[in-house]
């Protein structure tokens, strides 16, 4: 079996289901990271007649010949699951010996419109699996509020269905979602991230001030900046990875695969920011962000000021050398 794609949540969930099913039917789960480990585990399973699930994370680490050899075994007591991280190109399928019937591919759509459609379908299926119903309007409102990340949506649906069971209802309406959902529409990290990507100290100052003002009454936004998925700190680390990959001659396609990110996002957002900053400056930036988080843990008097000063100093520093010239 092959499980892969750039939609991380679905890939991880299917791998988890495969592991759970294996244990339910008395199969041992064995992780293998090389051709030799696959052969050894398969031989052991055949010799002792003990069913086993072989989990190989990384299709690129497993030669095609080994998969063909595994498929050709008679009375095989082992089941092989090959997991591929990142976008799967159907025209250059990474594990050809796996028959189409046994390929589970979950690629994240590249366009926002397609991602929203996929998210709507996902929410509908999750609600139906819980034997409940929800209207299209409520689903659209949910996605507009929390975004199209499937992992986030799965958590929101889980909270809503749990509350619905407690109340003895089977229809998820806007009021029920409102009981479990904390809207974050007023706290938008995108302007901060965009200003940081552009190394725009003035724009960063304004966006940080707006963020702090919008967050009044709902808590300090410091940890949102440092921990939120897709936020400034999260993106800075991604830019650093991209800068190093570019230095090593990686193509946009290779970077997208390594980071499990859509190609368009790599081209439009990640590569320009990585080139504008450079690996050296980004290393300092990531270290400064880590120090700002440390200020929180140490109980510093004003960790927000530590964060703002670090970001502005990084933006105001001398422009880095172009990628590949350091």
User: Is 101 exposed, middle or buried (CB count within 10 Å of its CB: 0-12, 13-18, 19+)?
Assistant: exposed
Rounded Cα–Cα distance for residues 281 and 59 (Å)? 34
pLDDT of residue 160: 92
pLDDT of residue 60: 64
| Phi-psi domain of 163 (left: phi exceeds 0; alpha: psi -120 through 50; beta: other) | alpha
Q: Report the 10 Å Cβ neighbour count for 92.
A: 7
pLDDT of residue 325: 38
Q: Report the 10 Å Cβ neighbour count for 22.
A: 20
Of the candidates 237, 292, 258, 319, the one whose C-alpha atom is nearest the C-alpha of residue 84 is: 258
Q: What is the CATH number of domain 112-180?
A: 1.10.8.60
pLDDT of residue 121: 95
Residues 159, 165 contacting (CB under 8 angstroms): no
pLDDT of residue 182: 54
What is the secondary structure of 49-77 as a DSSP string? T--EEEEEE-GGGS-HHHHHHHHT-TT--
Question: CA-CA distances (angstroms) from residue 25 to 22, 38, 83, 240?
Answer: 5, 21, 21, 44
Domain 190-316 class, CATH top level: mainly alpha
Write out the chain's pLDDT in tens, 326 residues: 899 888 988 988 998 899 889 888 888 888 887 778 888 888 888 888 888 888 887 766 677 788 888 877 766 788 888 888 788 888 888 888 888 888 999 999 988 889 999 999 999 999 999 999 999 999 998 888 788 889 889 988 999 999 999 999 999 998 898 888 754 445 678 899 999 999 999 999 999 998 888 777 656 688 888 887 778 998 999 999 999 999 999 998 889 878 877 777 888 889 999 999 999 999 999 998 988 888 777 777 888 888 999 899 898 874 444 444 33
pLDDT of residue 187: 64
Q: What is the CATH number of domain 2-105?
A: 3.40.50
Residues 235, 268 contacting (CB under 8 angstroms): no
State the Cα torsion 314-315-318-324 to the nearest 10°.
90
| 283 token code pair | 């290393």
pTM of the model: 0.55
**DSSP 3-state of 133:** strand
Of the candidates 27, 59, 54, 50, the one whose C-alpha atom is nearest the C-alpha of residue 39 is: 54
Q: Report the 10 Å Cβ neighbour count for 24.
A: 8
Spell out the domain ranges in the chain. Answer: 2-105, 112-180, 190-316
pLDDT of residue 326: 38
């Amino acid at each position: 079996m092959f499980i892969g794609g750039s939609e991380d949540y679905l890939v991880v969930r299917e791998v988890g289901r495969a592991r759970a099913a294996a244990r339910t039917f008395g199969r041992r789960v064995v992780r293998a990271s090389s051709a030799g480990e696959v052969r050894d585990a398969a031989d052991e399973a055949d010799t002792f007649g003990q069913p086993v699930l072989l989990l190989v994370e990384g299709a690129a680490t497993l030669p095609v010949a080994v998969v063909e050899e595994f498929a050709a075994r008679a009375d095989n007591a082992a089941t092989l699951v090959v997991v591929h991280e990142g976008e799967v190109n159907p025209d250059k399928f990474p594990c050809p010996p796996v028959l189409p019937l046994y390929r589970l591919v979950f690629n994240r759509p590249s366009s926002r419109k397609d991602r929203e459609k996929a998210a709507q379908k996902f929410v509908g299926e999750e609600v139906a699996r819980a034997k409940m119903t929800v209207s299209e309007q409520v689903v659209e409102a949910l996605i507009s509020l929390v975004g199209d990340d499937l992992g986030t949506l799965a958590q929101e649906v889980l909270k809503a269905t749990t509350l619905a069971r407690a109340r003895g209802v089977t229809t998820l309406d806007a009021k029920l979602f409102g009981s479990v959902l904390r809207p974050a529409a007023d706290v938008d990290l995108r302007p901060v991230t965009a200003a940081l990507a552009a190394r725009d100290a003035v724009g960063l100052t304004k966006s940080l001030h707006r963020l702090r003002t919008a967050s009044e009454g709902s808590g300090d936004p410091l940890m949102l900046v440092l921990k939120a998925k897709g936020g400034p700190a999260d993106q800075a680390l991604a830019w650093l990875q991209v800068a190093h990959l570019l230095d090593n001659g990686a193509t946009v396609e290779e970077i997208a695969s390594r980071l499990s990110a859509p190609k368009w996002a790599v081209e439009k957002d990640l590569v320009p920011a990585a080139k504008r900053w450079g690996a050296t400056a980004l290393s300092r930036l990531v270290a400064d962000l880590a120090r700002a988080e440390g200020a929180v843990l140490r109980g510093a008097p004003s960790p927000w000021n530590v964060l703002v000063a670090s970001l502005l100093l990084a933006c105001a520093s001398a422009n880095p050398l172009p990628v590949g010239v350091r």
